[in-house]
Structure 1
Amino acid sequence: MSYKLSVTTSTTNISQNSIAISPDEITNLPDLTGRLLKDHVLISKMDEGGFGAVYLAKKYEKGKINVNPNFNFSTIPENELNKYCVVKAESNFTEGGCGLKMEVKILKKIGKLFNKSEQFAQIFMANRRSKYSYVFMTLLGQSLKHLLRIVPNEKFTDSTWLRVAIQTLYAVKQLHEAGFIHRDLKPANFVLGHNNDSMRCRFIHLIDFGLSRQYIFEDQNGNIRYRKPRKRVDFRGTERYCSMSMHYDKEQKRVDDVWSLLFTLTEMRSELPWSNVENEQLEEVKKTYKSTCIIKLLPNELENSIENLNLITNEKFDQRPNYEQIYKSLVDCMQNKKYSFDDKYDWEKEVNKNSPSMTKYIDMYHLFAKDHLANMKNPSSDSNQLNDLK
């Protein structure tokens, strides 16, 4: 199941399998299966956690409320997809407030900046009731975590891997340009479009913003500023994939998301040096490595890009990652190996002939190089305007 709850991780993550507070300590979300919200019926629960749930919703037809807990959403034909969507619901009594507020804020901002980006789900509607809040979103497909399980050796071939790397890097860059850092990048948080959605099935979407943090804000004079980094932060994310700085309680920057993405991508192609380490020893073992330890596990074309990324890791909070250099390295590798962006992915039996061509990704250097935040001001000491943010 690719859909998961950002709300289940909207508090501090102690490890991959634990959260900071028990669901018993809060008011739980009621089961909404069979409920009619607006003009949709919640026909099945796709996932749930202590704070909320994800439902498959279908447009209501008069006199028909067909609840089906075992419904396989991947079987929905393309001509029926417009009747379905996903509904995320979360209790209003979670510690720190409703995490869906951040998700809606991010997706709306991205939609405004990038005009329905192919790398993100769309928000159709959001609403709040007395006990819970909910949001209607695009029905997507399987996660990269799931797809890795069904390909030979649970690793992607270089042809697929390079294209996955370019799409995921572009998604992360767009999130950063919207003013947010994800802080929990991993295979489960990258999702393909629905397998029968010809317009989205070959695009990779970034999801789950429960741990995201806004790193820019608008001051009282209307100027956009960087948020002042804190001296020490609690752990956020997943130990297996988080950047090294997270293990030293440092504020996460854009470059930390890029390192987290590179660790994620490394595991899709090879093995991380700490892949087989138990959770209890994971932090201690990771601290014995440098981030650049992954260079030998990735294509040679990426060596300079990773070394340059390492050079800016300890620079100022507002230091911009070298997205365009990493992108160019990935494209150079594709061209050197004569791969095509329209080749079949490892998990595809055949390419959907109605899907748009993916060749645009070979000529996007200008988009990776463009800096929407070029005129930003330095970190501000004014934190009063950020009290409503996580």
Structure 2
Amino acid sequence: MKVINENCDGNIDEANEFVVSANSRVYRLEKYLGKGGYGEVYECVSEDTKKSARILDGHGPIIHLANIINTIKIYALKKENILRTRISKEIEVLKRASQHDCKQICKYIDDGRQENYVFVIMTLLGKDLSKLRRERKTKNFSLNTSLRVGLLTLSAIRELHEIFDGSVLPANPHPVFCGTTRYASLRAHQKLEFDTKI
């Protein structure tokens, strides 16, 4: 079994790319979705659900295609370099959001670690907003769509706020560090107040 390369540029050989989670579940990477500031995101399928679909199809009565498709679960896999990761916080947030049955936040499925990276598997929600916006002729959303996206975003923030007891309030006296440790000032690492040099 071949495990995905840490320096993957998105051109993966779909037939041979697997990851194994901490729960010993095997996931096959199906498609590269994108890259952000901290990691890469892939579409993946649990090999357990693929095997069960093959068994349903191959042994026994003829199964309708819709039943097989419903058996196969497609997820999103986010991986980050093990040396510069913040994924443990994301995993904690996703787990707590799943426990509280948050409607606007991805559901936590699994996580694991390979040689050079850590990963989290969550529900796949669909296309991201920037891709949807670029697909439009005007390259912009309508006012109605923008307002609906804003309301859904506020709904997600409200759900997070209810889980984490006010930790997303703008007046929080102890804000969580935000940014990359590589480019942060020494004062940020010491958790001191930021000041501008004159």
Q: What TM-score results when the alignment is normalised by the length of structure 1? A: 0.32
CA distance in 2, matches of 1:163, 1:50: 26
CA distance in 2, matches of 1:123, 1:235: 22
Pick aligned residue for 1:53 from 14, 37, 40: 40
Pick aligned residue for 2:145 from 150, 154, 160: 160
Pick aligned residue for 1:80 from 48, 61, 69: 69
Q: How does 1:209-248 map to 2 (within 5 A)?
A: 228-229=173-174, 236=179
For these two proteins, the number of residue pairs brought into alignment is 151
**1:136 Cα deviation from its structure 2 partner:** 1.1
Q: How does 1:374-389 map to 2 (within 5 A)?
A: none
Q: Contact 1:106–1:180 at 8 Å: present in 2 too?
A: no
Structure 1: which amino acid aligns with 2:122?
Answer: M
Aligned match of 1:269? none
CA distance in 1, matches of 2:37, 2:158: 31
Question: What is the Cα-based RMSD across aligned positions, in Å?
Answer: 3.9
**1:149 Cα deviation from its structure 2 partner:** 2.5
Q: What TM-score results when the alignment is normalised by the length of structure 2? A: 0.58
Give 3-state SS (helix, strand or coil) of 1:85's partner: strand
Taking a change above 3 Å as real, the CA distance of residues 106 and 153 of structure 1, as seen in their structure-2 partners, is same
Taking a change above 3 Å as real, the CA distance of residues 103 and 78 of structure 1, as seen in their structure-2 partners, is farther
**1:78 Cα deviation from its structure 2 partner:** 10
Pick aligned residue for 2:18 from 2, 16, 35: 35
Aligned match of 1:145? 130
Give 3-state SS (helix, strand or coil) of 2:41's partner: strand
**1:47 Cα deviation from its structure 2 partner:** 2.6
Task: Spell out, residue by residue over 1:269-325, the C-alpha distance to the aligned partner (whole angstroms, 9 max, x if none).
Answer: xxxxxxxxxxxxxxxxxxxxxxxxxxxxxxxxxxxxxxxxxxxxxxxxxxxxxxxxx
CA distance in 2, matches of 1:78, 1:152: 37
Structure 2: which amino acid aligns with 1:229?
Answer: H
Task: Spell out, residue by residue over 1:25-78, the C-alpha distance to the aligned partner (whole angstroms, 9 max, x if none).
Answer: xxx92548612422321233323468542222123246xxxxxxxxxxxxxx99
**1:124 Cα deviation from its structure 2 partner:** 0.5
Task: Spell out, residue by residue over 1:104-150, the C-alpha distance to the aligned partner (whole angstroms, 9 max, x if none).
Answer: 1111122223x1x2211111011234532111111121122222223
Taking a change above 3 Å as real, the CA distance of residues 79 and 170 of structure 1, as seen in their structure-2 partners, is farther
Structure 2: which amino acid aligns with 1:148?
Answer: R
Taking a change above 3 Å as real, the CA distance of residues 121 and 83 of structure 1, as seen in their structure-2 partners, is same
1 or 2 for the larger relative contact order (CA 8 Å, sep ≥6)? 1
**1:174 Cα deviation from its structure 2 partner:** 1.6
Q: How does 1:177-326 map to 2 (within 5 A)?
A: 177-179=162-164, 228-229=173-174, 236=179
Q: Contact 1:56–1:87 at 8 Å: present in 2 too?
A: yes
CA distance in 1, matches of 2:37, 2:106: 24
Structure 1 residue 174 corresponds to structure 2 residue 159:
yes
**1:79 Cα deviation from its structure 2 partner:** 6.5
Give 3-state SS (helix, strand or coil) of 2:138's partner: helix
Identity %: 25
Taking a change above 3 Å as real, the CA distance of residues 175 and 54 of structure 1, as seen in their structure-2 partners, is same
Give 3-state SS (helix, strand or coil) of 1:55's partner: strand
The runs of 5 or more residues in structure 1 that have no matched partner are: 1-27, 63-76, 182-213, 217-225, 238-249, 252-390
